[in-house]
Amino acid sequence: MPFVAAIRRALLSAALALLATAALADGPGRAAIASPHAEATAAARQVLEQGGNAFDAAIAISATLAVVEPYGSGLGGGGFFLLREQSDTAHYRFLDARERAPGASTPDMYLEDGKVRQGLSINGALAAAIPGLPQALADLAATHGKLPLRDSLAPAIRLANQGFAVDRIYRDRATMRLNALRDDPESARLFLRENQVPALGTLIRQPELAATLQAMADQGRDGFYRGAVGRKLVEGVRRAGGVWTLDDLAGYRTAWRQPLRYPLAGQRELISSPPPSAGGVALAQSLAMLQRLPWQGAEPVQRTHYVVEVLRRAYRDRGLLGDPDYVTNPINRLLARQYLSGLADSIDVHDATPSSALPPAPAWREGDHTTHFSVIDAAGNAVSAILSVNLPFGAAFTVPGSGVVLNNEMDDFAADPTGSNSYGLAGSQANAVAAGKRPLSSMSPSFIESPSQFASFGTPGGSRIPSMVLLSMLGFLEGRPVSEWPAIPRYHHQYLPDVIEHEPNTFDDEQKAALRARGYALKDVQRSYGNQQVLYWDKRAGTLEAASDPRGVGEAAVLE
């Protein structure tokens, strides 16, 4: 009988464990949104209250950001969407909506007499790759949404017609690209006032963009890639010296990819972006190396040393990656435990490792003004997305009559893979220009999940994205309040240049002196950077939190 009782107790314990697991698998019961603009958060709230899910809300946020952040994203750009689908268990998918090079693209299209022609991959129609965001919004509605696309686009259409007020972030980005905006009459008409950056509070109306969004609401993806809008886009690009064709637009497709997944200590798992993002690999490598180092108990300078050294090694491998449809990415080798253990063991406890002492690798550069949001619904479906047009206001070229600001993502390719690009940086053959190819990116929307916790991360910031996300993840791993994750002072190292870039108030004078004594060069970038939006769901406590980066003008909300 004691044996039978023991069996009964074991069965009861197992049943209770299963019940607990089932309870933890349920959604948070409420929704939360963290976006970089209050209007985008309001649009997501509206769609959720109409019965939409996180994927419908992601469409509403993306479309609204296309209206209020023409400097960061839009229908003329692309992005990455990391999805968490809640059913009996969590399933993850990755929607690659990165722009693709036009069919007429060639490796030497930005060269003249063997040298890069300054500006062609940055400003104007030739700098624009084929946009991916419109296709992504249609795909999300068709495969994951509960509402028709027109309902999710409605808030953005209304806002484009009614207008939005210029804020400090808009003024900052427009100032950065003022000359390029002035050079394009349509961009100047829409986004400047008398050829100057608009004053705070100025109302920006975009009826042409509203009409383009309405065409998508009526016709789905064909409302953008075909028909009147498609013809208008191609004609406008070609008149301005670009190489788009109707076939380029009609043939654009997103790619569903398997997210990068990497096990972490404490039953946690990193779920992040696969190539053509290099960011997920860099995050996995950095976290794996830090697990072998005593970073949590270290004083600030020692901790910075550990973080910088793992970033140095992770960023060195970036030049090996490219569009997986065109190159074979050595992911298994780069994430092999033996390889990462060797990298961690090569870190000197006290002194900086000069990048010149590591095996050589190609350098690279990408635009650093994108946008990010996170959203989770009551059922546990979630999206972390980073959208981009590359540099602020992309190519600073708006197709007349469409309201669509085009990206300059062609600049993310290696303009000269055998020499250097317009920034004097060595190119990467894996990221060379090719027809239909997607340029490499650091954009890395990410989750960390365990049986008891779920957290969502991501930020704009170009090459600095992985370092920013890593610092926020470390805040999560050491149990800091959610509100602090996006606020953590930022520093960055990317192998080359061999320097720690940092925000103005990241280090005090004593810490700077200590870092220099270890062999580091430091560069104050003289401004804050990044704009991270984070979510946290404590499954055991049943609590849900969201936070928006204090550097921006975003808004985080937990719906009741």
Q: Are 64 and 161 in contact (CB under 8 A)?
A: no
Q: Angle at Cα 450 formed by Cα 445 and Cα 455, nearest 5°?
A: 35
Which helix (H) or strand (E) segment holds residue 243: the answer is none
pLDDT tens digits in sequence order for the chain, 560 residues long: 343 344 344 333 333 333 333 334 479 999 999 999 999 999 999 999 999 999 999 999 999 999 999 999 999 999 999 999 998 889 999 999 999 999 999 888 888 777 777 688 899 999 999 999 999 999 999 999 999 999 999 999 999 999 999 999 999 999 999 999 999 999 999 999 999 999 999 999 999 999 999 999 999 999 999 999 999 999 999 999 999 999 999 999 999 999 999 999 999 999 999 999 999 999 999 999 999 999 999 999 999 999 999 999 999 988 788 889 988 999 999 999 999 999 999 999 999 999 999 988 765 556 556 899 999 999 999 999 999 999 999 999 999 999 999 999 998 775 555 543 332 333 456 677 888 899 888 899 999 999 999 999 999 998 899 999 999 999 999 999 999 999 999 999 999 999 999 999 999 999 999 999 999 999 999 999 999 999 999 999 999 999 999 999 999 999 98
Predicted structure pTM score: 0.92
Q: Are 37 and 162 in contact (CB under 8 A)?
A: no
Question: Taking Cα atoms as reference points, which of 259, 253, 277 lies closest to residue 138?
Answer: 253
Rounded-to-integer distance, Cα 343 and Cα 462, Å: 24
What residue has token string 């696309």? 149
How far does Cα 264 stand from its chain's mean position? 22
Give the pLDDT confidence score for residue 427 in this predicted structure: 46
> How far lies 14's CA from each of 8, 11, 450, in Å?
10, 5, 20
Q: Are 7 and 520 in contact (CB under 8 A)?
A: no
Say how many Å lie between the first and final Cα of the chain, rounded.
51
> How far lies 363's CA from each of 4, 170, 346, 427, 446, in Å?
67, 30, 21, 7, 24
Question: Of the listed 41, 254, 304, 370, which one is catalytic?
Answer: 370
Rounded-to-integer distance, Cα 138 and Cα 145, Å: 10
Q: Is 370 a residue of the active site?
A: yes
Rounded-to-integer distance, Cα 84 and Cα 448, Å: 11
Give the pLDDT confidence score for residue 112 in this predicted structure: 78
Residues 6+ away with beta carbon under 8 Å from 422 = 110, 116, 118, 119, 121, 122, 411, 415
